[in-house]
Amino acid sequence: MPSKTIFVPCEEYPYASQTEVLKPGMEVLEISTRSKVPFGKSLSPFNLVITLKSGKRVKVECTYQGSKVLADSKQYIGLYWRSPRDAALDKRIKGQRPVGFRFFGKEYTTTPKHAFFDFLYIVGLCQRKDDVFGKLDTWDGFSDMFYSPRKDPNCRFNPKLVRLEAESLCA
C-alpha cells in the first residue's frame, strides 16, 4: 500500500513540511471527497462552493475547469454547471495545458503554476460562513488521498500559505 503524504504547517516558507510518518497523537485531516470527516470532505475542491455575484453557486473544481482557455482560444464555460467529476474528466480539456484562464471576463495567467486555482479556492474559503480557519488550526496536519508527488510536486492545499493569502483577501 502506498504511503500517504502528510503536510504539517510550519512558521517558515513554504509554510508546510511533508512527511509520510504519522507521529503518535497526530490529528490529520483528510481533505478530499473521501474524507471520513465532514469538514474535510467540505473542503475538497469538488465540494467547496463559490457564490457568484448573480447568487448562483458553482464548485471550485468546475470553476477551474470551465475557466481554462486552451491554445485554440476555446473555453468551455458550460463546465461551470456540470458535476465536478464530469468537468475534470471532460474530453475536450483532459490532458490539454491551458494558455490562460478567463473567469467572467477577467483574464488570468498560468504563472505561478497554481495561482488561479489557489485564488478560486481561497475565494471559496472566504465565502464560508463558519470559522474555517479556526477549525483548520485544530488539526496537526493535512492530507489528500488523491495527491501524487509524481504528477505534481506541490500540494494545492498548503494550509499555512492558504491562510496567509486568505487573511489578506478576506479582510
Would you say residue 170 has pLDDT above 90? no
The model's pTM is: 0.86
Instruction: Evaluate the omega torsion of the peptide bond into residue 9 and state whether it is cis, within 30 degrees of 0.
Output: no
| More confident call, 144 vs 76 | 76
Q: What is the pLDDT of residue 156?
A: 53
pLDDT attached to residue 107 = 96
Domains of the chain listed by start with CATH number? 6-170 (1.10.357)
At 27-40, the pLDDT tens digits run 999 988 999 999 99
**Which segment of 1-5, 94-98, 107-111 scores lowest on mean pLDDT?**
1-5
Asked if 76 contacts 92 with a C-beta cutoff of 8 angstroms, the reply is yes
Interatomic CA distance for residues 69 and 66, integer angstroms: 8
Closest CA to 88 of 77, 79, 101, 100: 79
pLDDT score for 146 = 74
Looking at residues 130-154, what average pLDDT do you find?
77
